[in-house]
Amino acid sequence: MTRPRTDLLLELADDELILGWRDSEWTGIAPFLEEDVAFSSIAQNEIGHARALYELAARDLGTDADVLAFDRRPEEYCCAPLVQAGLVGDWAGTIARHFLYEAADAVRIEALKASPDAELAGIAAKIDREETYHRLHAEMWELRLRDEPRFRAAFEVRWPLALGVLAPDLRPRLAERVGREEVEPVERSTPGTEFEALWNEMTMVRRSAPTGAQW
Amino acid sequence: MSDARTAEFLEFVQAGGQVETDDWLPEEYRKRLIKFIEMHGNSELMGVLPERDWILRAPTLQRKLALTAKIQDEVGHCQLIYRVVEDLGKPRAQCLDDLISGKSKFHNVFHYPTRSWGDVGVIAWLVDAAAIISQKALLKCSYAPYARVMKKVCWEESFHILHGRDTVLAMVTGTPEQFELVQEAVTRWWEPLMHFHGTPIPADEDPMLHWRIKSQGNEEARQQFLDGYVPQILELGLELPDPNLRKNEGGLWEYTEPDWEKLTAVVTGHGPASQERLAFRRLSRADVDWVSRVMLPEAA
Amino acid sequence: MIYEVFRQERKGQPFVHGGSFHAPDQAFADAYAREFYARRQESVALWVVPREQIVEIDEFPDEFDLKYRRVDGYSIKARLAIARERAGSATSPGTDGG
């Protein structure tokens, strides 16, 4: 790996942060109460992972996790297109994204666990222990919804986005994992307007006081 | 026959006895239980909405996690409480239908909008403090399954108050603008907080006390709230919008009589955010109705 | 389907009833039990059981004095005193059984 490790950490952390932020939108309005509680934990875990990853990056960069999570300009975030869309109300889309993201993340984390960088490998192993439950959750939902037409459609739309979560060398493993042919992936790029709207909302309280204010 | 049985039941619960789901329950008792516990469940569910608006806007990762966890707890409480109602004979789908159609009620404080991050702190601190006083008094409820659920609810709520107080403390020790956000929120929420424990009906006229569903009168609960929290509010340099608020020589709090007609109006769906909140619930239920039908046909 | 959850707070302690919830199947029930009864590490183990599998029995007739099965069915004090007297080993009170 020749990229600086902070690039890699920020990419991962941004994915986890934004997915966690999006998933947290379901808190209080999920399809039924038991699932509401379960899905909220998943959202919290994703944000917890983002925090741990930002902390590691922040140490290299001489800053702190909150600054990395909130105080960058929208165009400085490098989260994958898969995690950016707001899907409140669309449970089929949410579960399709959840399933595909967990599968992609499993491939990515597996690779990171083998990293020669002990800190990276260590954090990957820790994340993996929690993600095991997310994968179980995603898989049992996929099993129940896979014959629902709206779930099939939501899955098709997101397959190229899921491939784009991973570096090119890892994509075949994802295709194998979910039993699909590789297609033209949707690559990471400067975040679009939907992300900007989210960024505006997620930073609005924080931006209302001068930089460095305590909340 | 049934009257003697009812009298015996009443004597049992008034002496501190607790009953279970499968025990014989007088019809009036069952009806009152369902209505009361259902409204509590409704309140937990509707209580999610004022704070949910701010989940996306939490200003640090720590606050984001704590706020999400708090709202998650409330959804969990709704689940626990609706289960009690279900075992008493009213299915959850029916509770949800009656809630979104406006047929059943939810607590006054959840009919108000949340205007700033200051409100988020004040709700978690003071609204939850007021709620925990009522809920602690339910630990002795004559209906044991409800009392047991309250044990878990109270345990989880204690973290909410700390999260709220900490959020408020961060702001009152911050910039003047941050302090002002808290002051505005306290001023805004004072009337709903004074309404929270209900009209001061005498204990011997309160059917909820009669059946030992509740163990504490409304005014007693309000006094306990004022006693515990007015000093905590004032010590931060915050002001309360009631010039008549004072503790008298007898140790009781005096205050300007709240507008009780307004409370009635608010809980019957005429609060500033009542209709918007119900409409939002209707919409979100419609969006995911198909999932419930696929996954949980019996409970939707 | 309704599932009942029993939780163990610490190793070595008995499992106590925690509560119940709806779940589509056992896999979901397991996941939900984890969320509802252990998300704050408040349990070390859970039993997750479909409610319909639980049998409640709450009638235990005792028409013909079954106390001989319990400790309160025995009063040995008087006989013990006589026995000790005969043996000449009567001691200060409070050392015998009830």
The CA dihedral of A147, A148, A151, A155, to the nearest 10 degrees, is: 30
Question: Does residue B43 surpass a pLDDT of 70?
Answer: yes
Q: Which residues of A touch B291 (CB under 8 A)?
A: 31-32, 91
Confidence of residue B203 (pLDDT cuts 50, 70, 90): confident
A147 belongs to a structural domain: yes
Condensed to tens digits (0 to 9), the pLDDT of residues B157-186 reads: 888 999 999 999 999 999 999 999 999 999
Say which residue, A213 or C92, is predicted with more confidence: A213
Instruction: Give whole-number Cα distances, C36 to A40, B75, B159, C11, C91, in Å.
Output: 12, 11, 16, 19, 59
B104 near A CB under 8 A: no
Q: Contact B245/B230 with Cβ under 8 angstroms?
A: yes
Please give the sequence-ordered ranges of beta strands (E in DSSP) within chain B, or none if there are none. 246-247, 253-254
Confidence of residue C92 (pLDDT cuts 50, 70, 90): low
Contact residues for C65 (Cβ-Cβ < 8 A; gap 6+): none
Q: Return d(Cα B88, Cα B42) in angstroms, integer.
A: 16
Nearest to B52 among A27, A70, A202 (CB): A27
C95 belongs to a structural domain: no
A134 belongs to a structural domain: yes
C45 near B CB under 8 A: no
| pLDDT for residue A47 | 98
Contact residues for A58 (Cβ-Cβ < 8 A; gap 6+): A64, A65, A67, A68
Enclosing domain of residue A143:
5-175
Question: Does residue C69 surpass a pLDDT of 90?
Answer: no
CATH code: domain of residue C28: 3.10.20.520
Please give the sequence-ordered ranges of beta strands (E in DSSP) within chain A, or none if there are none. none
Segment 3-62 of chain B within 8 Å of chain C by CB: 22
Q: Return d(Cα A131, Cα B103) in angstroms, integer.
A: 42
Number of domains forming the structure of chain C: 1
Specify burial of residue B8 (Cβ count, 10 A radius: 0-12, 13-18, 19+): exposed
3-state SS class at C50: strand
| pLDDT for residue A4 | 86
**Residue B239: half-sphere exposure toward Cβ, Cα within 13 Å:** 6
Q: Note whether A21 contacts B173, CB cutoff 8 Å.
A: no
Q: Minimal Cα distance from B50: which residue of A? A: A28
A213 belongs to a structural domain: no
CA-based torsion, A172, A174, A180, A184: positive or negative: negative
Q: Please name the helix (run of DSSP H) or strand (run of DSSP E) that holds residue A198, with its range, or none.
A: helix A193-207
User: And the tokens for C8?
Assistant: 């163990």
Q: Return d(Cα B262, Cα A155) in angstroms, integer.
A: 50
| pLDDT for residue A2 | 55
Q: Note whether C22 contacts B299, CB cutoff 8 Å.
A: yes
Per-residue pLDDT, averaged over B223-250, amounts to 97
Burial letters A63-91, b for 16+ CB under 10 A, else e: eebbebbbeeebeebbbbbbbbbbbeebb
3-state SS class at B23: coil
| Contacts within 8 Å (CB) and 24+ apart, C69-73 | none
Q: Return d(Cα B148, Cα B80) in angstroms, integer.
A: 10
| pLDDT for residue C93 | 57
Q: Return d(Cα B56, Cα B72) in angstroms, integer.
A: 14
Question: Does residue B1 surpass a pLDDT of 60?
Answer: no
Q: Contact B96/B300 with Cβ under 8 angstroms?
A: yes
Q: Return d(Cα B142, Cα B209) in angstroms, integer.
A: 10
| pLDDT for residue A111 | 96
A123 belongs to a structural domain: yes
Per-residue pLDDT, averaged over A152-156, amounts to 98
Nearest-CA distance B22 → chain C (Å):
10
Q: Return d(Cα B63, Cα B54) in angstroms, integer.
A: 10
Question: Does residue C94 surpass a pLDDT of 80?
Answer: no
Q: Return d(Cα A110, Cα A131) in angstroms, integer.
A: 11
Q: Return d(Cα A185, Cα A158) in angstroms, integer.
A: 10
Question: Does residue C97 surpass a pLDDT of 70?
Answer: no
User: And the tokens for C69?
Assistant: 């099965």
Domains and CATH numbers, chain B: 25-295 (1.20.1260.10)
* Mean pLDDT of the residues in chain B: 95
A110 belongs to a structural domain: yes
Per mean pLDDT, which range of A2-16, A91-105, B63-77 is the poorest? Answer: A2-16
Q: Note whether B76 contacts C36, CB cutoff 8 Å.
A: yes
CATH code: domain of residue A52: 1.20.1260.10
Gap between the terminal Cα atoms of chain A = 38
Enclosing domain of residue C26:
2-53
Question: Does residue A1 surpass a pLDDT of 60?
Answer: no
Q: Return d(Cα A156, Cα A92) in angstroms, integer.
A: 11
Specify burial of residue B205 (Cβ count, 10 A radius: 0-12, 13-18, 19+): exposed
| pLDDT for residue C90 | 73
Q: Contact B185/B119 with Cβ under 8 angstroms?
A: yes
C32 near A CB under 8 A: yes
| pLDDT for residue C98 | 43
Q: Note whether C35 contacts A37, CB cutoff 8 Å.
A: yes
User: And the tokens for B290?
Assistant: 């198909």
Q: Return d(Cα A115, Cα A120) in angstroms, integer.
A: 7
User: And the tokens for B235?
Assistant: 């010590």
User: And the tokens for B213?
Assistant: 């569903």
Q: Please name the helix (run of DSSP H) or strand (run of DSSP E) that holds residue C8, with its range, or none.
A: strand C2-8
A209 belongs to a structural domain: no
A72 belongs to a structural domain: yes
Number of domains forming the structure of chain A: 1
C86 belongs to a structural domain: no
A84 belongs to a structural domain: yes
Question: Does residue B41 surpass a pLDDT of 70?
Answer: yes
Condensed to tens digits (0 to 9), the pLDDT of residues B55-66 reads: 999 999 999 999
Q: Which residues of B touch C20 (CB under 8 A)?
A: 83
**Chains contacting C (3 or more CB pairs within 8 Å):** A, B
Condensed to tens digits (0 to 9), the pLDDT of residues B70-123 reads: 999 999 999 999 999 999 999 999 999 999 999 999 999 999 999 999 999 999
Q: Contact B60/A70 with Cβ under 8 angstroms?
A: yes
